[in-house]
Amino acid sequence: MDSFIYSILIISILVFIIIRLILFFASKSCNGVPQKRLLLAMLSLLFPNLDVSVHDRTAEMLERSKGTIHIHQYSWFTGTKVLLTSDPANVCHVLSTNFSNYPKGSKWREHVDVLGDTLFSADFKEWEKERKTVRSFTSHHKFHQATTKIVWDRIQTGLIPVLQHASKLALLVDLQDLFQKLILDIAWMTSIGYNPNFLGIEFRKDPFSVALEDACEAAFSRFLMPHSLWKLHRWLGIGKEKKLKHAWQTIDRVFADCISKKQEESAKGEDHQEGCNFEGVYCVTGEDKAFRSAATRKGLRDNIVSFIFATQDTTSSVLTWFFYSVAKHPSVQAKIRDEIFKNNPQELNKLVYLHAALCETLRLFPPGPVLSRIAVEPDTLPSGHRINGNTNVVIAVHAMGRMTSIWGDDCHEFKPERWITAQGEITRVSHYQFPAFSAGPRICLGKELAFMMMKATAATIIYNYDIEIQEDHPAEPKSSVVFHMKHGLMARINSRGT
């Protein structure tokens, strides 16, 4: 089949979709949401290049609908009924109270198949086993000691030399790319004790991060398409599925290369790089052995790739939006810098305002803009909405941060003060109101590690440098399961001489 036939096929599919959408939205309304507004939101989901923001439209829809919408018009297209919610009571019910009725489901596993069979895609007994294993490591005091040392070591020997180099030469650099490489090095060191040194003054290509981004975009596309349609794309080798195929190959190649180099180091007795005496969570030997549930080569690959994805993509996304937001609010940056000067960059527990500013970033720009669950049995949500089995319940995490019903009339403002009590402590907010790290039994096990990495990186940069974001830089999110900036974050770095 040549390119001309490919083009005709895609055009035919798009025309069919548009016609069907127009017919359905012209004849129906949805929970009082204006038909035009709902149509724009759905079209922006299907065609990300349209000049509409899917997440902003979603927030508007949910605000007008008191937090929950049955999207009946969308079910014919995806083959699954959809309920969209931002109601904290519903979030609590789905993620905790009736947790057993709302797994991620087999389709979710297919959507993120590049990550393999791990904690992120497992359900029920398999999930319980995987979570117990991962928790045994992440909660161990040696894990915290080792990761803390790795993070500070990589900041000092990796990030600072790059920032100094960029400052000296007045280079325009992509902060998002720097953060991705920094966290990627940390994730590899934490997982297997090997440092691939993606971060350096050479600004060399990082194929692994690019591959993960392509995989995330493909997963998002699969989520929006009918099951049969994205499988057709995969069979034809077109669109996002073509990029995913190449991404998968790259991920496997980089994984094999890092494992091989780690084994070479082990054979030569060179395991402890840069003063870091740590083998990694997945201790690799010449026989490719790993801990319990990852005893095979595939198991090792799946666990490491998933660990790196959870560590790198999400943390680098938050850091990028944090520096963008701080640059837009000089008074916030001044308060953070003043707090650091009164303490020091490594006393992270004392940096309350910095922590609050990161929470505010997570509220407005959560790395995972939506959470998705499938109802096994019929149920009635606290909001009174009745759902049938096989209904896809989508929790609009991004929209929740922009709901006046949850955060008040100033919900669109970047305001770290909302996170600080009169006593100068961080306000405790329910995870069901603020599910940036998910909530309930599946809450993120790496939350504390993520905050430590973000605070250490942010404190070091703000203490030592002024960040000048390129004027009129387009701050647009990618259409992806991770809230990356579509065009990166271009900036100049000016040393403060501290």
The total of other beta-carbon atoms located within 10 Å of residue 343's CB is 15
The arithmetic mean of pLDDT across residues 126-136, rounded, is: 89
Helices 314-328/175-192 angle, 10° precision: 150
Given a cut of 80, whether residue 45 has pLDDT beyond it is no
Which DSSP letter does residue 171 get? Answer: -
Identify which has the larger pLDDT, 14 or 473.
473
Query: Is residue 47 pLDDT above 70, yes or no?
Result: no
Domain that holds residue 87: 3-495
Asked whether the beta carbons of 295 and 111 are under 8 A apart, the reply is no
Give the model's pLDDT for residue 295. 47
Average pLDDT over every residue of 281-300: 54
Would you list the DSSP string of 32-100? TB-HHHHHHHHHHHH-TTSSS-HHHHHHHHHHHTTTEEEEHHHHHHHSSEEEEE--HHHHHIIIIITGG
DSSP class of residue 104 equals -
Confidence (pLDDT) at 7: 52
- pLDDT tens digits, 83-94: 999 999 999 999
Taking only the tens place, the pLDDT of each residue in 319-346 is: 999 999 999 999 999 999 999 999 988 8
pLDDT digits 0-9 by tens, 428-444: 999 999 999 999 999 99
d(C-alpha 198, C-alpha 182), whole Å: 8
The per-type count for the chain, helices as H runs and strands as E runs, is: 20, 9
**How far is it, in rounded angstroms, from Cα 24 to Cα 214?**
32
Alpha-carbon span 325 to 467, nearest angstrom: 12
User: What was the pLDDT predicted at 290?
Assistant: 41
171 CB burial (10 A radius; 0-12, 13-18, 19+): middle
pLDDT > 70? residue 101: yes
Q: What pLDDT is attached to residue 78?
A: 54
pLDDT band at 300 (very low <50, low <70, confident <90, very high): confident
In this prediction, residue 289 carries a pLDDT of 43
The average pLDDT across 292-302 equals: 67
Cβ-based neighbour number of residue 35 at 10 Å: 15
CA distances 194 to 3, 296, 471, Å, are 43, 19, 38
Structural domain tally of the chain? 1
Give residue 279's pLDDT band: very low, low, confident or very high (50, 70, 90).
Answer: low
The conformation of residue 492, written as its DSSP 8-state character, comes to: E
The arithmetic mean of pLDDT across residues 190-199, rounded, is: 92
Residues 50-59: pLDDT tens digits?
334 677 788 8
Composition of the chain by helix, strand, coil, percent to 5: 60, 10, 30
pLDDT of 79: 59
What are 400-417's pLDDT values in tens digits?
999 999 999 999 999 999
| 216 labeled binding residue | no
Please check whether residue 259 is in contact with residue 303, taking contact to mean a CB–CB distance below 8 angstroms. no
pLDDT tens per residue across span 248-267: 999 999 999 998 898 888 88
Q: Residue 305: which CATH number?
A: 1.10.630.10
Q: Answer with the residue of higher pLDDT: 275 or 127.
A: 127
Q: How confident is the model at residue 397 (pLDDT cuts 50, 70, 90)?
A: very high
Residue 183 makes CB contacts below 8 A (sequence gap 6+) with 311, 312, 315, 316, 319, 453
Look over the chain and give the mean of its residue pLDDT values, rounded to a whole number: 84
- Residue 301 carries which side chain, given as an amino acid letter? R
Please state, in angstroms and rounded to a whole number, the distance separating the CA atoms of residues 402 and 390: 28
> What's the pLDDT score for residue 426?
95
Under a CB-based contact definition with an 8 Å cutoff, are residues 354 and 389 in contact?
A: no
